[in-house]
Amino acid sequence: MANPISRRNFLVASLAVPLVAAASPAFAIDEHDQFAAAATKYGVPASVLAAVAYGQSRWEDHAGAPSTSLGYGPMHLIDGAAAQQARRAAGKDGAAVIDTLGQAAKLTGLSKEALRTDPAANIAGAAAVIAANQKQLGHSTGTATDPATWYAAIATSSGFTSASGERTFADDVMIDLRNGTSKKTSGVTLSLAPTRVGNVTPQRTVITRRVEESQRHRQNGPIDAPRGLDVEWIEAPYEQYGPNPGDYGNHDLGFRPKSPTLNQLVIHDTEGSYASAIELVQDPTYLAWNYTVRSADGHIAQHLHPKDIGWHAGNWYVNMHAIGVEHEGYAATGATWYTESLYRNSARLVSYLCREYCIPMDREHIIGHDQVPAIATPYIPGMHWDPGPYWDWEHYFELLGAPLHHGTSHRPVHRGDVVRILPGFDDNRQPVSGCGTDPGAACPIQGTNFVTLRTGPSNSAPLVNDIGLHQDGQPASTYVSDISARAAAGVDFVVADVSDDWTAIWYLGLQAWFYNPHKTPTARVVANGRKITPRQAGTKIYGRAYPEASAYSNPDDVQALAPLIYTADPGQEYVVADAQVPTDYYKAQTFSLDTPDDHIDIIGKERYYLISFGHRVAYILADDVTWTHD
């Protein structure tokens, strides 16, 4: 059996280079034996195969594990037969699935098992499917043919079930071919050089006609998304299902961004299939979010207009001010992966929404569900932790056009610096357990999006514990849902101390240490970071920024401020992510907009700051802190 690390980085391993290379050697990916052999055998340009693989998996084989949509290998060949069987077993017919794995097996004579698990077979199988479609379309094959002539074959071989998704994927492949692309993994840079691409307009026009035809048959609605993105309207029903005015679901009507304002966006995963998520969001007795992104092709369903408030974050204050985006996938298994098409289309949507509603593109405003704070201490253990340790935040922000390394430097870290956690993803293999049925078993070795935090500068020191998550005195663990001792990628903290290759940050009122070697740092210094320190010992931390009692005209409406179990002390420093936090409570307790004194935003005068306090964001009263400077 192959080493699991080598299997995951199949291209690096087969180039016979060390897993950590001092000079980061570069290799032309389209000249790799596995691409070159498939290109020669099936008459597809090697650069086309390499660009397709990048668009499907970013040149990863994931050790033979499937994506959420049962796509396998670097070419993401979809096991359509297994997908259909799973849907029938779940009692769902669902949309059609394109069985690219089955097609590859017929064309090559290779077994499905080989196509799933052997990268060379996977690439050859995809080459055979692409070449067959090219011939069926009446276009020439050959390794020296213009990549532009493969546009339609790339689209129809993608495994996508919508014409719009096919077009977007083929467009992305052509862009990657023209501009070139690269990826660093295990100390090796894999690159695809810029390639001359001719005129794709004739073939693109044909697919665009198919897109326009398919959109005529879709349910129309108030789509709020970038033009040309594959989005359909599947409405979340706003219905009264009982006799009382409060018996309604699955969201609230609002007037955003005017009232309340919009300032955050929450990234979720569905913990189930796309079909199941669509079924749930149309249940008026359940809850709603704004968008769902499908794994197989990045197709997006919109359910709410951003002006309305979905019930998705487990914190009404965050719901008031946030848009929720669900992604088909599972946080806990570690055995499936988020597809590149899902990442790319989600990033297109989110970057548009951030521009449209002036939401800052940082990790305190574009947050995971795992960063949403509880409204009060008893709720902390039940807060969700998706999209989990296997969501690639650094890559996602690159796609957003807001790379997380911007505004940072590699200079040595000193006490009082603001640092951003940037460990990379592919080679950042932190300990995680409990992905399968055995809670103590280690999860598959793969990239993660956090650094592990300890109580001292040593790998033998205990994990930092979250007293809110473990209120019965349980110790912290590496269990997949235990986020106690994790500092997530892209989040900013203040350095509390430094010891050799270890750095301590202020985290949950504690000094938390992580491995941050000088030669290969896992955090970078942030320029012009804004810091505060508490004025008094035991300063309170909040999970929401509600108004003071005097702001409510009706005493029955007053919402308790309910500080969390955590406190902070003078000398500790925390990064201020937002000094203009809205202090408000949107009262929406009845179904009808005509209800007197309801559907109103109650504004307070108390001021809060949004801070990175632990794994989750939190709020602290401005009057309780002072600003600090280096």
Distance CA 288, CA 275 (A): 15
Residue type, 216: R
CA 137 to CA 140: how far, in whole Å? 9
The pLDDT tens digits of the residues spanning 290-306 come to 999 999 999 999 999 98
Q: What is the CATH number of domain 231-534?
A: 3.40.80.10
User: Which pLDDT score, from 0 to 100, does residue 92 have?
Assistant: 65
Specify the DSSP element, H or E, that contains 260.
Answer: none
In contact, 369 and 268? CB cutoff 8 Å = yes
pLDDT at residue 184, as a whole number: 85
Average confidence score pLDDT of the chain: 93
Mention the CATH class of domain 4-214. Answer: mainly alpha
Residue 458: pLDDT band by 50, 70, 90 thresholds? very high
**What's at 512, amino acid-wise?**
A
Number of Cβ within a 10 Å radius of residue 410: 10
226 upstream amide cis, omega within 30 of 0: no
Predicted model pTM:
0.95
Nearest to 272 by CA among 290, 295, 288, 251: 295
Specify whether the backbone of 255 is left (phi greater than 0), alpha (psi in -120 to 50) or beta.
alpha
Treating both helix axes as pointing N-terminal to C-terminal, what angle do 100-108 and 119-136 enclose, rounded to 10 degrees? 90
Per mean pLDDT, which range of 161-170, 206-215, 538-547 is the poorest?
206-215
Cα gap 171→6, rounded to integer Å: 32
More confident residue, 10 or 612: 612
pLDDT, average across residues 307-328: 98
The one-character DSSP state at 584 is E
| Distance of alpha carbon 301 from alpha carbon 325, whole angstroms | 10
Nearest to 101 by CA among 127, 80, 73, 123: 80
* Alpha-helical segments (H) within 80-162: 80-89, 100-108, 112-117, 119-136, 151-156
* Stretch among 92-106, 320-334, 454-468, 575-589 having the lowest mean pLDDT: 92-106
Q: Which residues pair with 510 in a beta bridge?
A: 507
Could you state, in order of their start, the residue ranges of all structural domains in the chain? Answer: 4-214, 231-534
Q: Distance of CA 448 to CAs 299, 395, 487, Å? A: 25, 12, 11
Helix extents (H) in 335-482: 340-357, 393-400
Nearest alpha-carbon partner for 96 in 159, 169, 167, 166 = 159
pLDDT by residue (tens digit) across 382-425?
Answer: 999 999 999 999 999 999 999 999 999 999 999 999 999 999 99
Separation between Cα atoms, residue 472 and residue 283, nearest integer Å? 36
Beta bridge partners of 329: 272
pLDDT surpassing 60 at residue 27: yes
Of 317, 326, 291, 319, which is closest to residue 305 (Cα–Cα)? 291
- Encode 600-615: b = buried (16+ Cβ within 10 Å), e = exposed: bbbebebebbbbbbbb
Tokens 């049925």, residue located: 437
Check if 4-214 and 231-534 are the same fold.
Answer: no
DSSP 67: B
* CB within 8 Å of 602: residues ≥ 6 apart: 547, 551, 552, 553, 557, 584, 585, 586, 587
- Distance CA(238)–CA(240), nearest Å, equals 7
Dump pLDDT digits (tens) for 226-274: 998 999 999 999 999 999 999 999 999 999 999 999 999 999 999 999 9
Q: Count Cα neighbours of 591 within 13 Å in the Cβ-side half-sphere.
A: 16
Better pLDDT: 186 or 249: 249
Number of H helices, E strands in the chain: 15, 32
Angular region, 433: left φ>0, alpha ψ -120 to 50, beta rest = beta
User: What secondary structure letter does DSSP report for 442?
Assistant: B
CA distances from 324 to 97, 270, 441, 611, 614 (A): 27, 11, 32, 20, 22
- How far is Cα 621 from Cα 565, in angstroms, rounded to an integer? 15
**Measured CA distances, 174 to 125, 179, 397 (Å):** 21, 9, 22
pLDDT of residue 332: 84
Lookup: tokens for 67: 């994506």
Burial class (CB in 10 A: 0-12, 13-18, 19+), 573: buried
Q: What pLDDT does residue 468 have?
A: 98
Question: Angle at Cα 163 formed by Cα 194 and Cα 52, nearest 5°?
Answer: 30
Q: Is omega for the bond preceding 596 within 30 degrees of 0, making it cis?
A: no
Residues 283 and 241: their CA atoms lie apart, in Å, by 11
Yes or no: say if 394 and 363 are a contact pair by the CB < 8 Å rule. no
Per-residue CA distances from 13 to 61, 230, 426 (Å)? 12, 37, 14
What is the Cα Rg of the chain in Å? Answer: 25
Are 476 and 467 in contact by the 8 Å Cβ rule? The answer is: no
- The Cα–Cα gap between 62 and 279 comes to 30
* pLDDT value of position 15: 64
User: Among 199, 125, 150, which residue's Cα sits nearest to residue 44?
Assistant: 150
Q: Which helix (H) or strand (E) holds 71?
A: strand 71-72
For residue 335, name the pLDDT band (cuts at 50, 70, 90). low
Q: Tokens 């790998």 identify what position?
A: 459
Rounded to an integer, what distance in angstroms lies between the CA atom of residue 119 and that of residue 63? 9
Report residue 118's pLDDT band, with 50, 70 and 90 as the boundaries: very high
Local confidence band at 4 (pLDDT 50, 70, 90 cut-offs): very low
Strand partners, 418: 494
The average pLDDT across 504-521 equals: 97
SS3 per-residue string spanning 505-525 = EEECCEEEEEECCCCCCCEEE
251 three-class SS: strand
- What pLDDT shows up at residue 57? 95
